[in-house]
Amino acid sequence: MTLTIVTPVEVAVRQDDVVLVRAEDPTGSFGIQRRHAPLVTALAISVVSWRGASGPERYCAVRGGVLSVEADTVAVATREAVVDTDLDRLEREVLARFHRASDESARARVDEERLRAAAIRTIQRLLRPARPTRGFGGNR
The model's pLDDT over 42-95, given as tens digits with 9 standing for 90+, comes to: 999 889 999 998 888 999 999 999 999 998 899 999 999 999 888 888 887 877
Domain containing 50 equals: 2-103
Q: What are phi and psi of 106, to 5 degrees?
A: -65, -45
Measured in degrees and rounded to the nearest 5, phi and psi for residue 113 equal: -65, -40
Question: 97: pLDDT confidence band, cut at 50, 70 and 90?
Answer: confident
User: Considering its fold, how many domains does the chain have in total?
Assistant: 1
**CATH number of the domain residue 91 falls in:** 2.60.15.10
Residue 121 lies in a domain: no
- Complete DSSP assignment for 39-90: EEEEEEEEEEEEEESSS-EEEEEEEEEEEEEETTEEEEE-S-EEEES-HHHI
Please indicate, yes or no, if residue 114 is contained in any of the structural domains.
no
Cα-Cα-Cα-Cα dihedral sign, residues 13, 14, 15, 18: positive
Spatial contact of 17 and 3, defined as CB atoms under 8 Å apart: no
Residue 125 domain flag: no
Domain membership flag for residue 120: no
